[in-house]
Amino acid sequence: MKYKKIGDILILDNSHPDDDYNELSRRHNVKTIMKINHIQGTKREPVYKILYGGETETVNKENGCLFKLDLAKVMWSKGNNNERLRIARLVEDDETVLDMFAGIGYFSIPIGVHANAREVISIEINPNSYHFLCENIRLNKLDNVTPILGDCKVETPKYRADRIIMGYVKTTHHYLKAAIGSLNEGGVLHYHETVPEKLMNTRPFERIMSEADGREVELLKVNKIKKYAPGVEHVVIDARIY
Protein backbone atom coordinates (compact mmCIF):
# COMPACT_ATOMS: atom_id res chain seq x y z
CA MET A 1 0.00 0.00 0.00
CA LYS A 2 1.35 3.41 -0.98
CA TYR A 3 0.55 6.42 1.16
CA LYS A 4 1.71 9.89 2.15
CA LYS A 5 1.23 11.64 5.46
CA ILE A 6 0.30 15.31 5.41
CA GLY A 7 0.15 16.78 8.89
CA ASP A 8 -2.01 14.33 10.81
CA ILE A 9 -3.89 13.04 7.76
CA LEU A 10 -2.97 9.91 5.78
CA ILE A 11 -3.56 9.89 2.02
CA LEU A 12 -3.73 6.42 0.46
CA ASP A 13 -2.92 5.86 -3.21
CA ASN A 14 -5.12 2.76 -3.16
CA SER A 15 -7.66 1.60 -0.63
CA HIS A 16 -9.04 -1.89 -0.04
CA PRO A 17 -12.28 -2.98 1.63
CA ASP A 18 -10.43 -5.19 4.11
CA ASP A 19 -8.03 -2.49 5.31
CA ASP A 20 -8.13 -1.96 9.07
CA TYR A 21 -8.31 1.85 9.02
CA ASN A 22 -8.47 2.05 12.81
CA GLU A 23 -5.16 0.19 13.02
CA LEU A 24 -3.68 2.35 10.22
CA SER A 25 -4.68 5.52 12.05
CA ARG A 26 -3.08 4.27 15.26
CA ARG A 27 0.11 3.11 13.54
CA HIS A 28 0.63 6.41 11.70
CA ASN A 29 -0.82 8.63 14.43
CA VAL A 30 -3.39 10.34 12.17
CA LYS A 31 -6.94 11.56 12.72
CA THR A 32 -8.22 11.03 9.17
CA ILE A 33 -7.51 8.68 6.26
CA MET A 34 -8.44 9.81 2.74
CA LYS A 35 -8.06 8.87 -0.88
CA ILE A 36 -7.56 11.68 -3.42
CA ASN A 37 -8.92 10.43 -6.74
CA HIS A 38 -7.67 13.36 -8.81
CA ILE A 39 -7.25 17.14 -8.90
CA GLN A 40 -9.61 18.97 -11.24
CA GLY A 41 -9.89 22.34 -12.97
CA THR A 42 -7.84 25.52 -13.03
CA LYS A 43 -8.58 26.00 -9.33
CA ARG A 44 -6.86 22.65 -8.61
CA GLU A 45 -9.65 21.25 -6.43
CA PRO A 46 -9.45 17.67 -5.10
CA VAL A 47 -11.97 14.92 -5.78
CA TYR A 48 -11.67 12.78 -2.67
CA LYS A 49 -13.12 10.04 -0.47
CA ILE A 50 -12.86 9.89 3.33
CA LEU A 51 -12.05 6.37 4.51
CA TYR A 52 -11.64 7.02 8.24
CA GLY A 53 -12.36 9.97 10.51
CA GLY A 54 -13.78 13.16 9.12
CA GLU A 55 -11.65 16.24 9.81
CA THR A 56 -9.76 17.32 6.69
CA GLU A 57 -7.98 20.45 7.93
CA THR A 58 -4.42 20.04 9.17
CA VAL A 59 -1.04 21.78 9.52
CA ASN A 60 1.88 20.26 7.64
CA LYS A 61 5.49 21.10 8.44
CA GLU A 62 8.00 21.05 5.58
CA ASN A 63 11.47 22.57 5.21
CA GLY A 64 11.02 24.55 8.41
CA CYS A 65 7.74 26.07 7.18
CA LEU A 66 4.18 25.59 8.43
CA PHE A 67 1.34 25.03 5.96
CA LYS A 68 -2.26 25.05 7.11
CA LEU A 69 -4.64 23.52 4.57
CA ASP A 70 -7.89 21.63 4.10
CA LEU A 71 -7.29 18.55 1.96
CA ALA A 72 -10.96 18.44 0.95
CA LYS A 73 -10.62 21.90 -0.61
CA VAL A 74 -7.03 22.39 -1.83
CA MET A 75 -4.22 20.27 -3.27
CA TRP A 76 -0.89 19.36 -1.73
CA SER A 77 1.93 17.95 -3.85
CA LYS A 78 4.33 16.24 -1.47
CA GLY A 79 6.71 15.28 -4.31
CA ASN A 80 7.69 18.91 -4.96
CA ASN A 81 9.25 19.64 -1.55
CA ASN A 82 12.85 19.66 -2.84
CA GLU A 83 11.92 22.06 -5.64
CA ARG A 84 10.24 24.45 -3.21
CA LEU A 85 13.40 24.65 -1.12
CA ARG A 86 15.64 24.87 -4.21
CA ILE A 87 13.84 27.99 -5.42
CA ALA A 88 13.95 29.61 -1.98
CA ARG A 89 17.72 29.14 -1.92
CA LEU A 90 18.10 30.74 -5.36
CA VAL A 91 16.33 33.97 -4.39
CA GLU A 92 18.85 36.77 -3.90
CA ASP A 93 18.72 39.55 -1.32
CA ASP A 94 16.30 42.37 -2.08
CA GLU A 95 14.67 40.64 -5.07
CA THR A 96 11.03 41.18 -5.95
CA VAL A 97 9.53 37.75 -6.61
CA LEU A 98 6.21 37.08 -8.30
CA ASP A 99 4.63 33.70 -7.58
CA MET A 100 1.97 32.82 -10.16
CA PHE A 101 -0.51 30.06 -9.21
CA ALA A 102 0.63 30.53 -5.61
CA GLY A 103 -1.87 28.13 -4.04
CA ILE A 104 -1.53 28.03 -0.27
CA GLY A 105 2.00 29.40 -0.53
CA TYR A 106 3.93 26.32 -1.69
CA PHE A 107 6.78 28.51 -3.02
CA SER A 108 5.97 31.87 -1.42
CA ILE A 109 6.19 30.66 2.18
CA PRO A 110 9.64 28.98 1.86
CA ILE A 111 10.95 32.10 0.11
CA GLY A 112 9.58 34.26 2.92
CA VAL A 113 11.11 31.99 5.57
CA HIS A 114 14.48 31.15 4.02
CA ALA A 115 15.32 34.09 1.70
CA ASN A 116 15.67 37.83 2.07
CA ALA A 117 13.40 39.02 -0.72
CA ARG A 118 12.16 42.60 -0.80
CA GLU A 119 8.66 41.37 -1.59
CA VAL A 120 6.92 38.19 -2.70
CA ILE A 121 3.77 38.86 -4.72
CA SER A 122 1.56 35.76 -4.54
CA ILE A 123 -1.33 35.42 -6.99
CA GLU A 124 -4.01 32.74 -6.55
CA ILE A 125 -7.42 32.33 -8.21
CA ASN A 126 -9.01 29.77 -5.85
CA PRO A 127 -10.68 31.52 -2.87
CA ASN A 128 -10.07 28.48 -0.64
CA SER A 129 -6.37 28.34 -1.49
CA TYR A 130 -6.15 32.14 -1.09
CA HIS A 131 -7.67 31.83 2.39
CA PHE A 132 -4.97 29.36 3.45
CA LEU A 133 -2.27 31.43 1.73
CA CYS A 134 -3.23 34.32 4.02
CA GLU A 135 -3.38 31.97 7.02
CA ASN A 136 0.10 30.64 6.24
CA ILE A 137 1.58 34.11 5.90
CA ARG A 138 0.33 34.81 9.42
CA LEU A 139 1.31 31.37 10.74
CA ASN A 140 4.91 31.84 9.59
CA LYS A 141 4.99 35.49 10.77
CA LEU A 142 5.96 36.89 7.36
CA ASP A 143 5.75 40.59 6.53
CA ASN A 144 7.08 40.59 2.96
CA VAL A 145 4.54 38.29 1.26
CA THR A 146 1.61 40.05 -0.46
CA PRO A 147 -1.36 37.78 -1.30
CA ILE A 148 -3.56 38.64 -4.29
CA LEU A 149 -6.83 36.91 -5.15
CA GLY A 150 -7.27 36.84 -8.91
CA ASP A 151 -6.44 35.43 -12.34
CA CYS A 152 -2.72 35.39 -13.14
CA LYS A 153 -3.36 36.59 -16.70
CA VAL A 154 -5.10 39.68 -15.33
CA GLU A 155 -3.00 40.39 -12.23
CA THR A 156 0.56 39.56 -13.37
CA PRO A 157 0.87 42.45 -15.89
CA LYS A 158 0.24 44.92 -13.05
CA TYR A 159 3.64 44.14 -11.49
CA ARG A 160 7.36 44.00 -12.27
CA ALA A 161 9.59 41.32 -10.77
CA ASP A 162 13.17 40.08 -10.72
CA ARG A 163 12.07 36.46 -10.51
CA ILE A 164 8.81 34.82 -11.55
CA ILE A 165 7.66 31.32 -10.56
CA MET A 166 5.13 29.49 -12.72
CA GLY A 167 4.44 26.47 -10.51
CA TYR A 168 1.49 25.05 -12.45
CA VAL A 169 1.84 22.26 -15.00
CA LYS A 170 -1.38 22.22 -17.06
CA THR A 171 -1.61 24.81 -19.88
CA THR A 172 1.10 26.87 -18.14
CA HIS A 173 2.46 27.96 -21.52
CA HIS A 174 -0.69 30.02 -22.07
CA TYR A 175 0.52 32.33 -19.29
CA LEU A 176 4.08 32.78 -20.57
CA LYS A 177 3.44 36.07 -22.37
CA ALA A 178 2.05 37.67 -19.20
CA ALA A 179 4.96 36.34 -17.12
CA ILE A 180 7.75 37.41 -19.48
CA GLY A 181 6.15 40.82 -19.95
CA SER A 182 6.41 41.42 -16.20
CA LEU A 183 9.97 40.17 -15.80
CA ASN A 184 12.66 42.81 -15.35
CA GLU A 185 15.66 42.78 -17.69
CA GLY A 186 18.03 40.03 -16.56
CA GLY A 187 15.31 38.47 -14.43
CA VAL A 188 14.82 34.73 -13.96
CA LEU A 189 11.79 32.66 -14.94
CA HIS A 190 11.00 29.27 -13.37
CA TYR A 191 8.60 27.64 -15.82
CA HIS A 192 6.90 24.32 -15.00
CA GLU A 193 5.59 21.96 -17.66
CA THR A 194 4.60 18.33 -18.12
CA VAL A 195 6.35 17.10 -21.24
CA PRO A 196 7.07 13.81 -23.07
CA GLU A 197 10.55 12.58 -22.17
CA LYS A 198 11.81 12.88 -25.74
CA LEU A 199 10.82 16.58 -25.83
CA MET A 200 12.03 17.44 -22.33
CA ASN A 201 15.12 19.35 -23.45
CA THR A 202 13.47 21.17 -26.35
CA ARG A 203 9.75 21.93 -26.15
CA PRO A 204 9.60 23.92 -22.86
CA PHE A 205 12.52 26.16 -23.84
CA GLU A 206 11.09 26.67 -27.33
CA ARG A 207 7.79 27.77 -25.80
CA ILE A 208 9.60 30.36 -23.69
CA MET A 209 11.50 31.59 -26.76
CA SER A 210 8.30 31.91 -28.78
CA GLU A 211 6.75 34.25 -26.18
CA ALA A 212 9.91 36.28 -25.44
CA ASP A 213 8.99 38.92 -28.05
CA GLY A 214 12.57 39.32 -29.27
CA ARG A 215 14.17 39.42 -25.83
CA GLU A 216 17.34 37.38 -25.32
CA VAL A 217 16.75 34.14 -23.42
CA GLU A 218 19.50 32.20 -21.62
CA LEU A 219 18.78 28.63 -20.54
CA LEU A 220 20.11 28.13 -17.02
CA LYS A 221 18.81 24.70 -16.11
CA VAL A 222 16.35 21.93 -16.97
CA ASN A 223 15.31 20.46 -13.63
CA LYS A 224 13.38 17.18 -13.61
CA ILE A 225 10.94 17.05 -10.69
CA LYS A 226 9.22 13.68 -11.03
CA LYS A 227 7.46 11.35 -13.42
CA TYR A 228 3.99 12.71 -14.16
CA ALA A 229 2.73 9.76 -16.21
CA PRO A 230 4.33 6.93 -18.21
CA GLY A 231 6.73 8.62 -20.62
CA VAL A 232 5.86 12.09 -19.31
CA GLU A 233 8.02 14.18 -16.97
CA HIS A 234 7.28 17.19 -14.78
CA VAL A 235 10.16 19.58 -15.46
CA VAL A 236 11.12 23.12 -14.51
CA ILE A 237 13.02 25.38 -16.88
CA ASP A 238 15.17 28.07 -15.26
CA ALA A 239 15.74 30.82 -17.83
CA ARG A 240 17.23 34.30 -17.59
CA ILE A 241 15.56 36.83 -19.84
CA TYR A 242 17.27 40.07 -20.89
Total number of domains constituting the chain: 2
Rg (CA), the chain: 18
Residues 40 and 158 in one domain: no
Categorize the per-residue pLDDT at 20 as very low, low, confident or very high, splitting at 50, 70 and 90. confident
Asked, for residue 205, whether it belongs to a domain, the answer is: yes
Asked, for residue 181, whether it belongs to a domain, the answer is: yes
Higher confidence at residue 121 or residue 37? 121
Q: What pLDDT, on a 0 to 100 scale, did the predictor assign at position 228?
A: 84
Q: How far apart are CA 43 and CA 118, in angstroms?
A: 28
Q: How far apart are CA 162 and CA 155, in angstroms?
A: 16
Q: How far apart are CA 206 and CA 183, in angstroms?
A: 18
CATH of the domain at 107: 3.40.50.150
Q: What pLDDT, on a 0 to 100 scale, did the predictor assign at position 43?
A: 65
Residues 27 and 112 in one domain: no
Q: Please say if the pLDDT value at position 7 is more than 90.
A: yes
Under 8 Å between Cβ of 9 and 30: yes
Q: Please say if the pLDDT value at position 198 is more than 70.
A: yes
Asked, for residue 190, whether it belongs to a domain, the answer is: yes
**Structural domain boundaries enclosing 228:** 78-241
Residues 43 and 111 in one domain: no
Q: What pLDDT, on a 0 to 100 scale, did the predictor assign at position 17?
A: 65
Categorize the per-residue pLDDT at 80 as very low, low, confident or very high, splitting at 50, 70 and 90. confident
